[in-house]
Structure formats: structure tokens, C-alpha cells
Amino acid sequence: MKARILATALGGALLMTVSAPVFAEDKDPSKQVAAVVNNEKIYRNEVEDARFLLPREYQNLPLKVVYPQLLNSIIDRKLTAAAGRKEGLANNADVKEQLARIEEQLLQRAYLAKHITSQVSDDKLKAAYETLKASTPQEDEVHARHILLETEEQANEVIKAIAGGKDFAELAKEKSKGPSGANGGDLGFFKAGAMVPEFSKAAFEMKPGESSKTAIRTQFGWHVIKVEERRPIKAPTFEEAKPQLENEVAREIGADILGKLRTNASIERFDLEGKVIAAPTAPAAPEKK
């Protein structure tokens, strides 16, 4: 959780292509050697840490998927850094200035990770979960099928066929012009706002098991709808919501930490012309939704 909180608080970017090697994941990462570059060892935990600098969508990929490119990136870093030291670049004034900035960034990350992690408690997560449940809209969603047709006449013919005992799903497979036709017109469950207004209004006025008595026109054509089921929208379980809650609580704690640091600091600001400007207010914690 600590690594995820740190990534949430500060972020990072390292975009790479991926491939999938065979990789054992049951060894101590602090002792498992991933590579040796000019007698310098790279350990697996260094590769794992690098994963949390990837964009969020790549962080969730299995380690074995991103492992080859992460390892290659670290190897390249070791080689070029060694070459730079050999040329005396470590003593370059610009390099020293940038190293000082990087040191500050690392200290910032370490400080926030330490204090955020220690404050992300189960009690805070459960309190955030209760807020989430209370804010979940009290509305229904429906499970519906539809048959999309080009003309009102075609739709009325389908409505007559259904009234005569024809199976809705089979008619959808045979007649529907929409992509869901092959699946019996099944649209799954959806909320009212997920569909165009005309379609949504008709579907939510129908009872489970009921199908359209008249054709519904939308920008896509003429629809015949059948509602299979209706149910209230439920809040996610605590376990389902926990990653999101950890991120939200971590952001709130981080904002509070920074606010206190600013309050206790002496800060002067100057505009582009060198004139003193008023200090902005401390960053507020994100509003709970």
C-alpha cells in the first residue's frame, strides 16, 4: 500500500513497450539479483520500485509483463551514469544543481510516504466508505434488450410479432440493425443517464418482462425495447472500494500535511517583476463526494 500511496501523492511517468518473459515471483526481492552491470548488481526490488513510476494503467499490469523493459531501462541508466562519472560530469555545476533538486524531491516523497502511510488507518478508510455509501445515488438501473430498426413500419411489425408470441431475443438476432442484435439485443444493466433521453424514458417507464407497445424513435432509428429486470443501484463493497478510498484518504492527509508545513513556515513570494505578492491560502483537503 505504501508504494501505491506514494505514487498517488506524487505521480511519475515512464512509458514503455511491453513483452512477457517467464519470471518467478516467490523470492525475496531484496536479495534476488536481476542483472549485473560491470560487477554492479541490480536487485529485483529496484525493478519493482520502478514499476510505480509508470502511468497508472501500466502499474496494474503483472510485473512479469513490464519486467523486461523496466530492467533494460535500469541497465541503461547504470551504464550512462557510469560513463558520465568517468567523464567527470558529477562535478559539473549544472549537474550538481539538478542533483540537489532531485534530492529535495526524494526527501519530499520519503517524508510524505512516511507520514501519509502512518495515518491511513482502517478507521479513516471505513469512515470514508460510509461517506461513499451515503453519497451513492438512490436510483434504479434496468436490464433491457432492444431491437433497432430503420423505419417505424418495421418496428410495428416486430411489435406485432412479439404480441403474437415470437421470442424477443430471436427477433433481435434476426431483425436488429444494432451491434447488440447478435447477442439477442442484450444491453445489460444501465442507469437512466447512460442512454439517449427518448430510449431511457421509455425503458424506465416499463415493468420487468414488459416490451414496447409502440416504437420509440431516437437519433439512431426506431427501437423496440424489452425490460428484463430492474434493481436499485448498490454501493460497492468495502473491499471493492478500498483502493479508491486509500487514494482519496491519502490525498486528504497529504494536503493537510502540506497545509500545516506552510502554516508554520516563513514564506515570501515575488512576481515576475520582483514585487512582493500576497501568499495564497494553504491548499485545502479535497472535498469528499
Q: Per-residue pLDDT tens for 37-71? A: 999 999 999 999 998 888 888 888 888 899 999 99
Distance CA 50, CA 133 (A): 35
pLDDT recorded at residue 284: 56
245 touches 239 (CB < 8 A): no
pLDDT recorded at residue 286: 53
Which residues does the chain have with pLDDT short of 70? 1-27, 29, 279-289
202 touches 227 (CB < 8 A): no
Q: Per-residue pLDDT tens for 150-161? A: 999 999 999 999
200 touches 225 (CB < 8 A): no
Distance CA 175, CA 181 (A): 8
pLDDT recorded at residue 235: 82
182 touches 224 (CB < 8 A): no
pLDDT recorded at residue 28: 74
pLDDT recorded at residue 19: 30
Q: By C-alpha distance, which of 238, 224, 241 is closest to 161?
A: 224
